[in-house]
Structure 1
Amino acid sequence: MFRLRQFYLNHLKRKMFNKIVVLYSAVMIVLFAIAATLVYQYQTQRILREQTDANLKSAHVLNIYLSLQYEGIQNIFQQIYGDASLSDDLIYFLNHEYESYLKYRLDLYAKTGEQRLRSFNPLLKNYLEQESSAKSVSIYSYPNNFYMHISRTNQQLNNDSGSKNKWETWFARREQDSWDTMPQNEASPSSDGSSPRSYSYSREIKDPWTLERVGMMNVEFDARQISSWLESRASVKGRILVLNAQQTVIYDSEDVLYGQTYPYQLEHEKAGDWVQLDEPSKVNILNVGNAGLSVVGIVSQSMIKESTKSLRTGMILVTLVFMVTSFAITFTIVRKFSKKVQRIIRSMNRIGEGDLSTRIQMSGEDELQQISRRFNDMGDRLEQYIDKMYTSEIKQKNAELVALQSQINPHFLYNTLESIRMKAYFVGAKEVGQMIYSLSVMFKSMVKKSTIVTIEEEIDMCSVYLDLFRIRYEGRLETEIEMDPEIQNYSIIKLLIQPIVENYIVHGFRPLEDNNKISVRALGAGDRIVIIVSDNGTGIPEEKLTQIRQTLDKILQPPDKGYRSIGLINVHERIVMNYGNDYGVSINSTEGAGTEVRMEIPMLRKGETT
């Protein structure tokens, strides 16, 4: 019990696939056992039916054989009694001494002058020639106590006058039953040392004129001829017996009860049914016409069991092979799925330990492959989410650091810039004073903690920034700012437009030309706000423009800080991180003709989120 419990705890309790294998194996064992039992029973019934049919066929064959023997004997008597000369010859032979019979034959020959007189002796010899199973024919004389024994090779006349009592005993027994065995140890009148496996048919001879009993004819048959007949004409199955009217066995295919009285009572009504003999047996009983013989076919239960022994062994082996094969196939398939599940569990453990790069490569299109695909998708989304949150957090920290640095004593900086501006106005440098004022306004806006401003505030910030450069370049820069009044109170991330404008000042402005122009337009388009920054600057070469677009589409990795459009990419990433992949920056440019940057963000009130 302890070992079973340990086995359950170690191999079944927490192992689903082992439970499936055990349960499936148990079901298969039961099903195979039931199927094998049903097949075995069916085959046993089939074998029983085949052997019973074969036994019945053998009984029919033997019935025909004995019927032919009986008809052959009856034909002799019909010829004798149907022919007056033959009957007279035989009656005279039985009623007189043999010398008198010979004298009678000679006198008859001399009187009639016929060269061939009809006699019973040639008739009997001709019968022995035609009937291969007949060994001899004996004719007994009641009045004179002698008999003539005729075989195929010789003819013998015997006279045992001193054994009359024994003759009478033998005659009395044969009167009870015409058919009987010819045992070797019995000194019957017909015994000539023949094989004990013989049987005979006896019939009394009567004088056709007086109807007195004058003798008996006995025909002896070789019982071995029955076996030869059966083997040549039927496949003998079971046991075949031939019984006379007194239940004496005159033939036994197993050669056990020959000459004995059959110990069991057989009934025709139970033919074909199970009958209790030495053991339960199937019995077939056939009567041989009017001969007084019965052919009994017996198929014993032990014979059926012996016949099905190889079948039973084969069924057990086949069932075991099927069970082992089924278990092996099931175990292999379940083990394959178990390995897949174990792989999924290991991958989940690695994810739990922080290895977010773990992915499951699994073939097939089953449920486990779907789980693996969902697991990989979850890993990708989790990794992207963590990267996004990590990047946002780093940028937030950097922004906070910049804000902290910018807030170092801001009042001191404001006051200082205001003093410089007043000094510039005092000495008449109005443009310098205007630039200092614009710088002070920008500084105040940039050090504010809020990262979300209105469209109006962002546009104003951009306008102040452009004023600085417009004053600096003394008429060589023309600016144009346009804003749809309906969107001025919608929100936007701070410092989205200024880096794009700065990109133009740094990379697209032509300091030697007087017609530099940049325009900023903010428009409403459905549920979106579109901000377009266009200029007539130097433009971007085609190859560089392709790289910028691929970087915006995340086909290429983000460039290093020395890259000329790092501000543009930064703006795009900030829009995507805050508003989603449906929004961002697109760019069109022609080298020597200018650049247009288009920015799309959702139309949100301040405080709303996408």
Structure 2
Amino acid sequence: MFNKIVVLYSTVMIVLFGVAAVLVYQYQTQRILQEHTEANLKSAQVLSVYLTRQYEGVLGMFQQIYGDATLSDELIYFLNNEYENYLNYRLDLYYKNGEQRLRSFTTLLKNYLEQDHGIREVSISSSVNHFVMNFSRKNQELMNENASGESRTSHQQRNPQGWSFNREEDVYVYSRELRDPWTLKQAGGISVKFDHRHIEAWLDSQASVKGRLLVMTSQGGVLYDSKGVYGGQVYPYGLSRSPGDEWVMLDEPSKARVLQLGSSGLSVVGLVSRSSIESGTKNLRDGLLIITLAFIMASFAITFTIISKYSKKVQRIIRSMNRIGEGDLSTRIQMPGEDELQQISTRFNDMGDRLEQYIDKIYTTELKQKQAELVALQAQINPHFLYNTLESIRMKAYVQGAREVGDMIYSLSVMFKSMAKKSTVVTLSEELELCKVYLNLFEKRYEGQLRHTLEADPQLLGCSIIKLLLQPIVENYFVHGFRPAEDENWIGISVEQDGSYILLTVEDNGTGIPMERLEEITHSLEGPVAPMDKDYASIGLKNVHDRIQINYGSACGVSIHSTEGQGTRVILKIPMMARGETA
């Protein structure tokens, strides 16, 4: 049974620990996913702020150029004329305006380059004279195109209108046409080249990047890929808007967030792949597996130890019970501890003690009963023989005229006849009648020296009583308390009800019992049952007391009260039972 308990408990613990580990793993996975997603979204927001600021810087530059007529005229003149003519134009403006005219579009572009360190270069191309002017922080360079216009075509292809990615220079570019504000004819174009490496430096300084970041145009072109895979390519998966909390199938299942950057035409896409989450939870998964196995093994070891301990105790109890069943009543269980099994062992030991006492009592009672039956069988022979003999003597006395002697012999024969009856239970009336006959016999013997009284509630006369309870008490009076030298000897018998019991009182004015002897008699009444031998077959207080307790229980019995020189009172307490009832 205990093996089944161990297996069942271990199975339950394995299931519980397994479920707990799965729940913890799922919770931690969701937490890590949320952390990665939030960190990725924060990085995307930081990047969107950076790109928005770059786009606003470009717009601000154009607004300054076209908002100042002198600057725009200068720029258009630069695009529509040779560079030498432009220098002469600048010189004429300087002489014309003096120190009031110090600004030019070149100064504006250089200031713009200094304000945004993410810009690598600004290029201005001429549609009329076919040249390109490149501005960087360190210098500016003028490149003339050949007659075929190959450089111009190449420049326009490399830098189309809007946002694009230049793979040759590894930059993302914003390009825009330059038109004459008066004629609206195209004079050239301007391209701002941004270094994507500055994005990474910016992100590292602002946020811890989790997952993957993409910067895409409205046509799906990728300007920046934090993994460096799709830069300059069209992203093969459509992500025009955020798909919410659902996993989307890209290169691998991923969580995606799309941030639109207003009118710039750009969007920042944040991606958190499932593989990155799984790699982030690998240590957690391995740790949970080890901890779960450790807890399962520890639980199994503790359970096995405790169950084994209880199993040994239970086996000890079972072995003791088997020994009791085989008849070894001396078996006792020595159980350490203060648990329920120790309480069971204590109760088992108490039960063994009571069982031994009960068996001893039953054995003693059966032995005494057999002895009593043998004595009763033997006693039945003598009364019959004496009764027949006394009847012959009585008839002889009547024939010879000795009627008083005949009456005495008759009383004696009645007593022997009553004792010869097989029934051991008589009515209270019959018991009192026997005592009356016995007392009449002694009154004839001690004529004028003895008187007796009998008092009994008539309602109690039909109650049953063990035969020969009162006669031995009366006989004790004549043996030990009667004073033959005096004429005022008296003995009385009274019967009264005390609740559910009957009190039979035998009282006399005899010699009484000395105090020491009274204590000995009282002590002997509480001792073991007296041996049943022929010298103690029908007389004695001990005999009466033992028979009452054997038949009616320990609540009944004999009590003695005596004063030396004044008399003795003996009280017999028996249950009140109708004739035919048994205790």
Query: CA 1:410–1:534 in structure 2 vs 1: closer, same or farther (change >3 Å)?
Result: closer
Q: Is the 8 A contact 2:161 2:177 kept in 1?
A: no
Aligned partner letter, 2:65: I
Distance 2:311 2:543 in 1: 48
Question: Superposition pairs for residues 411-560 of structure 1, below 5 Å?
Answer: 442-463=415-436, 479-504=452-477, 515-523=488-496, 528-537=501-510, 557-558=527-528
Determine the structure 2 residue equivalent to 1:313. 286
Moved more, 451-460 or 318-327: 318-327
Aligned partner letter, 1:83: D
Structure 2 runs not aligned, ≥5 long: none
Determine the structure 2 residue equivalent to 1:137. 122
Aligned partner letter, 1:296: V
Cα deviation per residue 1:278-312 (whole Å; 9 max; x = unaligned)? 22222222232222322121122212222333443
Shift of residue 59, structure 1, vs aligned partner: 1.9
Cα deviation per residue 1:383-418 (whole Å; 9 max; x = unaligned)? 665445433322221112223443567666567777
Determine the structure 2 residue equivalent to 1:200. 173
Question: Superposition pairs for residues 5-24 of structure 1, below 5 Å?
Answer: 15=1, 17-24=2-9
Query: Taking structure 2 as the reference length, what is the TM-score of the superposition?
Result: 0.80
Which of 96, 112, 122 matches 2:107? 122
Determine the structure 2 residue equivalent to 1:92. 77
Cα deviation per residue 1:204-256 (whole Å; 9 max; x = unaligned)? 32222233333332323222222233333334221111123453332222233
Query: 2:235 matched to 1:251?
Result: no
Determine the structure 2 residue equivalent to 1:224. 197
Query: CA 1:118–1:603 in structure 2 vs 1: closer, same or farther (change >3 Å)?
Result: closer
Moved more, 124-133 or 350-359: 350-359
Query: CA 1:327–1:470 in structure 2 vs 1: closer, same or farther (change >3 Å)?
Result: farther
Q: Is the 8 A contact 1:146 1:157 kept in 2?
A: no
Shift of residue 32, structure 1, vs aligned partner: 4.9
Determine the structure 2 residue equivalent to 1:210. 183
Structure 1 runs not aligned, ≥5 long: 1-14, 185-195
Distance 2:44 2:495 in 1: 117
Query: 2:529 matched to 1:575?
Result: no
Q: Secondary structure at the match of 1:178?
A: strand
Question: Superposition pairs for residues 289-438 of structure 1, below 5 Å?
Answer: 289-317=262-290, 319-320=292-293, 323=296, 342=315, 345-356=318-329, 386-407=359-380
Query: 2:163 matched to 1:178?
Result: yes
Aligned partner letter, 2:156: F
Query: CA 1:176–1:104 in structure 2 vs 1: closer, same or farther (change >3 Å)?
Result: closer
Determine the structure 2 residue equivalent to 1:156. 140
Shift of residue 543, structure 1, vs aligned partner: 8.2
Question: Superposition pairs for residues 238-277 of structure 1, below 5 Å?
Answer: 238-268=211-241, 270=243, 272-277=245-250
Aligned partner letter, 1:458: E
> How many residues are paired up?
576
Distance 1:541 1:69 in 2: 133
Shift of residue 443, structure 1, vs aligned partner: 4.9
Shift of residue 112, structure 1, vs aligned partner: 1.9
Aligned partner letter, 2:78: F
Shift of residue 475, structure 1, vs aligned partner: 6.8
Q: What fraction of aligned residue pairs are identical, expressed as a percent?
A: 63
Q: Is the 8 A contact 1:451 1:494 kept in 2?
A: yes
Determine the structure 1 residue equivalent to 2:92. 107
Query: CA 1:357–1:310 in structure 2 vs 1: closer, same or farther (change >3 Å)?
Result: same
Moved more, 131-140 or 341-350: 341-350
Q: Secondary structure at the match of 2:263?
A: coil
Q: Secondary structure at the match of 2:159?
A: helix
Shift of residue 277, structure 1, vs aligned partner: 1.6
Query: 2:284 matched to 1:279?
Result: no
Distance 1:54 1:272 in 2: 15
Distance 1:315 1:298 in 2: 27
Shift of residue 106, structure 1, vs aligned partner: 2.4
Distance 1:245 1:73 in 2: 18
Determine the structure 2 residue equivalent to 1:585. 558
Shift of residue 75, structure 1, vs aligned partner: 0.3
Distance 1:472 1:346 in 2: 71
Query: Taking structure 1 as the reference length, what is the TM-score of the superposition?
Result: 0.77
Query: CA 1:529–1:18 in structure 2 vs 1: closer, same or farther (change >3 Å)?
Result: same
Query: CA 1:449–1:294 in structure 2 vs 1: closer, same or farther (change >3 Å)?
Result: same
